[in-house]
């Protein structure tokens, strides 16, 4: 049996090159070697208010973007989190074995809570739901960007705690980070990670941005007061641009150095923009083809949910038995 892989994205805005390089690109790479489940985590998105009509549209858009990136629905399951109720059910059971102190320490919670007037309880519980998503399928490997490494550590802690309280039940999952592109920074502010939910116009390159917009965003990216690329001490903005180039081009370190050392920032930005556009144009073409076929995405999502629901339900059944909750079978 092939090991199982699980990962997901929130339909909370426009997917950007950080989501692609940190996660999606690697999903495509691993799908032939593992049994993969790729989820659109809508229950996570509503930890912060989402306009209902926009959320509904984003769910379909993200599924189409998975397909456009090369996720093959005959090979991998693409599904929506809320279509399989067991995610929420297991999350409650795991909530009951998770100390609040573990959750209050999470960096993402602290950052997202600071931006809210009233903090929904869901924001604190977010990592428990994420642990449930993964553990529900007994996933062994979770390919994510670096910002999710802390939540994965917590998932491992929750799995281990459950196993020690109730007996060996869950696979303890491994985090898989890409070697390049695990943390793409904001183009307007290279000290914060690129995020869907960050508002500024010059912050991110969206996967569906037209070439002109991509050029404009990258040409305006924040750099530093040096004139040209110095690999000895690149500022965070320049390091980020080089990182984006390398993640798309897959050039080795030596080739990067030979090519970019001493290059003026204006030229560096032009070359990064063209590299990004060259990769996103065919991707966007596939996206248009996929979305022009009526009902196709909805069918992929229905089949994905149907395929994974039995795995999820059998885990919940097992957890109920382990915890002593009511089940008809013993
Ligand atoms: P939000 O602001 O709504 O949290 P996000 O951009 O952080 O949006 P998520 O849906 O939370 O996106 O994360 C989806 C995947 O993309 C995760 O695997 C996450 O680690 C990865 N990811 C997110 N941002 C980046 C980034 N800047 N660089 C690399 N990977 C990233
Ligand atoms: Mg995020």
Ligand 1 mutation target, pool 23, 55, 111, 182, most atoms within 8 A of CB: 23
Q: How many CA atoms lie within 13 A of 44 on its CB side?
A: 26
Tokens 């049996």 locate to 1
Task: Supply the mean pLDDT for the chain.
Answer: 97
58 is catalytic: no
* Closest-approaching ligand to the CA atom of 45: 1
> What are the CA-CA distances from residue 254 to residues 82, 179, 294 (Å)?
46, 15, 47
Mean pLDDT for the stretch of residues 47-58: 97
Closest CA to 151 of 178, 124, 170: 124
The phi-psi region of residue 138 (left if phi > 0; otherwise alpha if psi is between -120 and 50; otherwise beta) is left
Q: pLDDT value at position 199?
A: 76
Ligand 1 atom, smallest distance to 45 CA: 3
% of the chain at pLDDT higher than 70 = 100
Mean pLDDT for the stretch of residues 101-113: 96
Query: Which tens digits make up the pLDDT trace of 116-153?
Result: 999 999 999 999 999 999 999 999 999 999 999 999 99
Is the Cβ–Cβ distance between 231 and 268 less than 8 Å?
A: no
For ligand 1, atom 25, name the residue with the nearest CA: 18
Query: Which tens digits make up the pLDDT trace of 66-88?
Result: 999 999 999 999 999 999 999 99
Which protein residues touch ligand 1 with a CB less than 6 Å away?
A: 9-10, 12-13, 18-19, 21-23, 144-145, 147-148, 182-184, 193-197
Q: Is the pLDDT of residue 65 over 70?
A: yes
Ligand 1 atom, smallest distance to 13 CA: 3
Q: pLDDT value at position 329?
A: 72
Is the Cβ–Cβ distance between 158 and 94 less than 8 Å?
A: yes
Query: Which tens digits make up the pLDDT trace of 223-242?
Result: 999 989 999 989 999 999 99
Q: pLDDT value at position 1?
A: 80
Ligand 1 atom, smallest distance to 144 CA: 18
Query: Which tens digits make up the pLDDT trace of 163-221?
Result: 999 999 999 999 999 999 999 999 999 999 999 988 788 999 999 999 999 999 999 99
Is the Cβ–Cβ distance between 166 and 322 less than 8 Å?
A: yes
Catalytic residue among 25, 193, 269, 320: 193
> What are the CA-CA distances from residue 10 to residues 99, 110, 142, 155, 171 (Å)?
25, 18, 15, 18, 24
* Ligand 2 centroid, distance to 197 Cα (angstroms): 8
* Whole-prediction pTM: 0.97
Catalytic residue among 25, 58, 196, 269: 196
Measured CA to CA, the distance from residue 311 to residue 307 in angstroms comes to: 8
> What are the CA-CA distances from residue 155 to residues 87, 98, 285 (Å)?
14, 10, 37
Is the Cβ–Cβ distance between 38 and 66 less than 8 Å?
A: yes
Is the Cβ–Cβ distance between 15 and 171 less than 8 Å?
A: no
Neighbours of 209 (CB within 10 A): 20
Q: pLDDT value at position 330?
A: 64
Angle between helices 236-249 and 253-260 (to 10 degrees): 120
Measured CA to CA, the distance from residue 186 to residue 204 in angstroms comes to: 6
Residue 64 CB partners (closer than 8 Å, separation 6+): 287, 290, 291, 297
């Amino acid at each position: 049996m092939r090991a199982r892989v699980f990962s997901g994205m929130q339909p909370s805005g426009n997917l950007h090159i950080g989501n692609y390089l940190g996660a999606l690109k690697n999903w495509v790479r691993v799908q032939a070697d593992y049994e993969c489940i790729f989820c659109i985590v809508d229950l996570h998105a509503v930890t912060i208010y989402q306009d209902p009509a926009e959320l509904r549209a984003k769910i379909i858009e993200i599924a189409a973007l998975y397909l456009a990136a090369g996720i093959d629905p005959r090979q991998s399951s693409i599904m929506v989190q809320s279509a399989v109720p067991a995610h929420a059910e297991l999350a409650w059971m795991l909530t009951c074995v998770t100390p609040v102190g573990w959750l209050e320490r999470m960096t993402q919670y602290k950052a997202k809570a600071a931006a809210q007037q009233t903090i929904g309880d869901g924001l604190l519980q977010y990592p428990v739901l994420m642990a449930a998503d993964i553990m529900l399928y007994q996933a062994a490997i979770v390919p994510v960007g670096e910002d999710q490494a802390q939540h994965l550590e917590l998932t491992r802690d929750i799995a281990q705690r459950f196993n020690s309280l109730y007996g060996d039940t869950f696979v303890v999952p491994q985090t898989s980070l890409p070697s390049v592109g695990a943390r793409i920074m904001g183009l307007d502010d290279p000290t914060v990670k690129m995020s869907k939910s960050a508002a500024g116009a010059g912050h991110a390159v969206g996967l569906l941005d037209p070439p002109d917009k991509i050029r404009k965003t990258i040409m305006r990216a924040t750099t530093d007061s040096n004139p040209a690329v110095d690999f000895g001490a690149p500022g965070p903005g320049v390091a980020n641009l080089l990182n984006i180039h390398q993640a798309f081009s897959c050039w080795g370190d030596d080739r990067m150095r030979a090519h970019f050392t001493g290059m003026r920032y204006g030229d560096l930005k032009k070359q990064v923009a063209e590299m990004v556009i060259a990769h996103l144009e065919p991707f966007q073409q596939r996206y248009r083809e996929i979305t022009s076929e009526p009902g196709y995405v909805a069918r992929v999502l229905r089949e994905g949910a149907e395929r994974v629901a039995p795995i999820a339900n059998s885990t919940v059944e097992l957890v109920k038995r382990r915890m002593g909750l009511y089940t008809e079978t013993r």
